[in-house]
Amino acid sequence: MLQEGYTNHKGKAFKIPGLFSWNVFLSGSELVEEVRKASEDRLSARERISDILKLKYTLGHEIMDNPYHIPIILTQLTRNLAARFPDILDEIKASFDDNIQLNGHEWGSVPAFETVVRVVCRTSNRVFIGLPLCRDPDWNDLVSGFSLDVVKTAAMIDLFPEFMAPLVGRLLSKLPQSVQRGMRLLRPIIEERQKYLDDYGSDWYEKPNDMLSWLMDKAQGEERSAQNLTKRVLATNFTAIHTSSVIFTHALFHLAANPRYIKPLRDEVETIVEKEGWSKAALAKMRHVDSFLKETLRFDGLTFISMLRKAMTDFTFSDGTFIPAGCTVTVASSPMHHDSEIYADADAFVPFRFANEKQEGEQPWQQMVSTNPQYLAFGHGRNACPGRFFTATELKSMLAHVVVTYDVKFEDEGVRPTSVSFGTANSPDTKAKILFRKRVE
């Protein structure tokens, strides 16, 4: 229905019936730009995300009322990517070694999504909370399960009329149990760091340079409690794990279905690493690696939509489309990403399409993390995904490691499992397996 609406109303708004209301979708660069320019008090991304994820019940009202972790993700996490890159790479290597047990150069069957989730959990939490907890199986089981629970709980609440949300939310939410379980593991670390913070101030010797420390520096009042800091770390994990795991599994499926893509990626990584070593700066020069992941986001994406907003006041677009206060608008990003007038061979996966388009100087608008009105994988404008820089660093490092370390393919040569759609979400087959072996050339 989304594609049909886009085809019949390209460049305009159209609506599709939902369970309890109409859903308004937008298409075309002009309307995308109008959404980007609209202030938060007119078209609110925050309120729309809160409604979709039922944040009051799935993550807690503190996360909704005071999302102070978001600026930390955008600033401190992003600024520290180069400094933390050796740790990111170390955890990626250790995670793959621990989760993919191979016998010599023989092929071994690996559950793709499950393995990717484990690697992403450990790698993300190496930066969020550090060693040794990032490698604790109980912690990783908690945060990976929590990410899925948030999505499932929100989807279940959405099946009921809005007036029933408080009752259904309280019955279905696993947040209290997750926080208690998380506190058992995280509280000793928080209390130890709090003691140093109280005794020596924010710059105490050997202070960990991680997300937990940044949260503790910023937290005020009740936000400093172990309970609320645990909630905040769980919320940060939710935004990181599900997104990265889905994207990388899609990318891995493309690689396994087309092993011929491995050599150009491997050649690029090894050439750059030989000259510059493994570093964030070296990673930024891996154009084919970047393009492969950017094309995965274009071709598959996390969802079929982007730039979700809720009208806080009556809003009229320049073409006369009227959105009453309280209604929602969303950009139909997937049809735009598959529009042959925007992308040549739009319905084909062209792994290096963006690498080939880049010019000398590596203009930032062409990179995976950049956004524009026709590439909306991370949204666009000031409300674009704040964690996309960390996500890109993590995913590019993972892909670079895979291509220089392994050969991959599907058991059924070249046959990629069909993706699974749930509402507007686009998920890879979470049960599919991939064959790995240590590289032979």
Annotated binding site for heme: 385
Query: Do you know the residue count of the chain?
Result: 441
Closest CA to 124 of 247, 230, 236, 290: 236
- List the one residue out of 118, 128, 114 whose CA is nearest residue 94: 118
Tokens of 90: 């170390």
Q: Which residue has the tokens 């994988």?
A: 377
DSSP 380-423: SGGGS-TTHHHHHHHHHHHHHHHHHHEEEE-SSTT-PPPPEEET
Phi, then psi, of 310 in degrees rounded to 5: -120, 130
- The binding site consists of 385
Closest by alpha carbon to 239, among 357, 394, 100, 381?
394
Q: How far is CA 212 from the centre of its chain?
A: 19
CA 325/CA 257 separation, integer angstroms:
47
φ and ψ at residue 24, rounded to 5 degrees: -95, 130
Backbone torsion region of residue 221, taken as left when φ is above 0, otherwise alpha when ψ lies between -120 and 50, otherwise beta = left
